Structures are given as C-alpha cells and as structure tokens.
Amino acid sequence: MCGRSSLTKTEKELEERFQSTFYSEDLERYNPLPNYNVAPTQVMPVITNDDQEHFRPFRWGLIPFWAKDEKIGYKMINARIETLLEKASFRNAVQKRRCLIPADGFYEWKKIGKAKQPYRIVATNTDLFAFAGIWENWKNPQGEWIQSFTIITQPPNKVVAELHDRMPAILLPEEERLWLDMELKPEDALQLIKPYPEEFTRAYPVSSRVNKVGENDASLIEQIPESA
C-alpha cells in the first residue's frame, strides 16, 4: 500500500514539469506546498482526464459516487490493480475518471528488531513523477461536492520489495498523458502500469518523526544512518 508520500516542489516547478497550471482561485485557498508528509484525507493537486491543462485540489481517499458517508474514503486510499475492473468502488472510475497525482517520494516501513524504520523511496532519474490514480465526485448531505482520488498499487520492484509487498503505480513520463486518454480502453490503460524500473529507484532511511502526521518539515526527507 501507499499511505504516505511527499510533494516538496513549488507550484512553478510542478507547472513546468507537467505543463499544466493552477487556477488562481485554487492557489488562494489551497497552498500546501511544500508538503514533506502527505497523508490520507489531505487535499493535494491532481491532473484529471477532463481538465488536463490544470491542477485541481482533490482529497486523498476515494469516496464512491454511491457512498452514504464520506468516512468510506479512509478505507480507499489505495486501489489494487488486480481488482480495479472487478470492484464496484473502482470499476466505473477507471473507465471514466483517471488522474495523475504528482509526487517526489513516498514512504514505507521496514521492521528492524522490535521497531519499524521508515524509508523514503524516490526516483533517481527525475525530481518529480506521477502516481496513476482514479477520481470521483461525491455530494455530501449539505449539498457540497467533494472531489477525491485513490492511488493505484501493484506488486513492487526489487528495491521496494525489501520494504513492502506493494508499491504505488508510478508512470513513466511518456505514459502519463496516455493514462489520461479516455479513448484508451481500461484494459489497455492498465497495461501501462508496471513496477517502476529498479535501476531508477532509491530507498533510504529517514527520521521516525514522519510517523506523526502533524510533523511536516524539510528534515523529514533527510537521510539518517542505517539502523543496525
């Protein structure tokens, strides 16, 4: 699973990398960058299939359109690629609502003795990459629309396998816009998702302070000495 990530770049760096811009009103009401400790239920910028020219602020944790309560989003921060076309929660979205979730790292934990050591995983060939995701619109009882997303996960490459049995679906740059192409059938779109090349993947230990969602500063992504 992917339950924590980071996005530490500025909006200008995001705009240059993805050739999409922020709506000015979104920057006024939403200015979370940099975020060294992205957690579920937080609002983050995504690029959707129906508005590829812009970043839009969506909440992490998919709320299906048929949901009666937004709390279901806590359980839907990830979607396994193996069951995307089977589960009612995801099947419709992968056909009609795909998105890119920008990031520059994600965290996993490795059990060392009785403790769990957090590691940050980054791509060595790019400063920014995109998770493949799907998104939804949901109207709450007060009549307000909430846009949410989930990150697709898959079996890990060899680097991440040392830490966890799943990893987020990171798209290669040339595959990003293809993922958003609704003319591409879901079955074909899912063929784009493969474990990120291990030769471009690096994992390093970081402070256990990242365990606390309230901690959010640059020191969280600094490498610390490997535990014995």
Q: What is the pLDDT of residues 5-60, one digit of tens each?
A: 999 999 999 999 999 999 988 887 766 679 999 999 999 999 999 999 999 999 99
- 207 touches 223 (CB < 8 A): no
**pLDDT tens sequence across 151-199:** 999 999 999 999 999 999 999 999 999 999 999 999 999 999 999 999 9
CA distances to 6, 55, 108, 111 from 30, rounded to whole Å, are 16, 11, 27, 36
Catalytic one among 99, 108, 136, 176?
108
Question: Does 108 qualify as catalytic in the annotation?
Answer: yes
Instruction: Give the pTM.
Output: 0.95
Domain residues of the chain, as ranges? Answer: 5-221
Round the average pLDDT of the chain to a whole number and report it: 93
- Catalytic residue, from 2, 99, 136, 176: name it: 2
The domain made up of 5-221 is a member of CATH 3.90.1680.10: yes
What pLDDT, on the 0 to 100 scale, is given for residue 32?
A: 64
DSSP letters, 16-47, are HHHT-EE-HHHHHH----SEEEE-TT-EEEEE
Closest CA to 137 of 87, 59, 69, 64: 64
Q: What is the pLDDT of residues 83-135, one digit of tens each?
A: 999 998 898 999 999 999 999 999 999 988 888 999 999 999 999 999 999 99
Instruction: In whole angstroms, give the CA distance from residue 110 to residue 116.
Output: 5
